[in-house]
Amino acid sequence: MLDLNKTEPQFFIDYKSNDKNYKKNPNNYLKCGFAIKQKLRQSILEEQKGQCFYCEKKIENDTEKIHIDHIKQRACFHNLECEYKNMVVSCNGNGGNHCGKYKDNQEKWDDTKFIKLIPENSQLSEKPSAFFKYVGNGKIKPKKKLTDDKKERAENTIKYLNLNFPDLVNARKIILYQIDIYKQQGFNIKTILALYREFESVFK
Ligand SMILES: [Zn+2]
């Protein structure tokens, strides 16, 4: 999972403060027009360097294959519907088998069970990179030395998003294997990542 590293784009700030329809229906994502959603998707996708926020697979800007995902679900967290920081781009998870759609078919995001990505007090937000590591067999696991609470929430989050879905595990395993070969040939890790442009956390 990527770290949330977001800066709200000016067009969205302007839209929320100036658009008459939006002002009539604030915090209503469905009322945002198609053009705004399209610009949002593009902006977020660029922030994520063309990767799914959750599984980090390379994704294209194709509405059939990706969607804007509200980390904290719109149906349960109305005040976060139009919060830019709550929006990421997710793959569709091979028919909903992992990532945003898989998550949304379960319970709502609960900060006591999962990583605190969008906590009420933003100062308490946590970085996925502090929680997860990738091991040689391609699996994502909680980092060692986490407190029991953090370890449990890391494990819950992996299950909640199904980040050890077999296709993802295999893809990471192959990349880890290939990274080793490139390294032996003297390539540095940045150069190798630039070749793949996906699964960036696996490279760290
Ligand atoms: Zn994904």
Q: How far is the CA of 204 from the centre of ligand 1 (A)?
A: 19
Instruction: For residue 63, name the pLDDT band (cuts at 50, 70, 90).
Output: confident
Q: How far is the CA of 44 from the centre of ligand 1 (A)?
A: 14
- Rounded to two decimals, the pTM is 0.96
Place of tokens 């781009």: 89
Q: How far is the CA of 164 from the centre of ligand 1 (A)?
A: 11
Which helix (H) or strand (E) segment holds residue 154: the answer is helix 148-161
Q: How far is the CA of 55 from the centre of ligand 1 (A)?
A: 4
14-46 pLDDT per residue, tens: 999 999 989 998 999 998 989 999 999 999 999
Instruction: For residue 145, name the pLDDT band (cuts at 50, 70, 90).
Output: very high
Neighbours of 40 (CB within 10 A): 21
Mean per-residue pLDDT, 100-119: 97
In this structure, what token pair is assigned to residue 202?
């696996």
What contacts 119, CB < 8 A, 6 or more positions away? Answer: 111, 125, 126
Name which of 95, 75, 63 is nearest 30 in CA terms: 75
- CA distances 156 to 34, 103, 142, 160, 187, Å, are 34, 11, 10, 6, 36
Residue 142 · residue 150 · CB < 8 Å: yes
Instruction: For residue 102, name the pLDDT band (cuts at 50, 70, 90).
Output: very high
Q: How far is the CA of 28 from the centre of ligand 1 (A)?
A: 25
Q: How far is the CA of 173 from the centre of ligand 1 (A)?
A: 16
Q: How far is the CA of 149 from the centre of ligand 1 (A)?
A: 25
CA atoms within 13 A on the CB side of 18: 6
Q: How far is the CA of 118 from the centre of ligand 1 (A)?
A: 19
- Give the whole-angstrom CA distance, residue 146 versus residue 131: 7
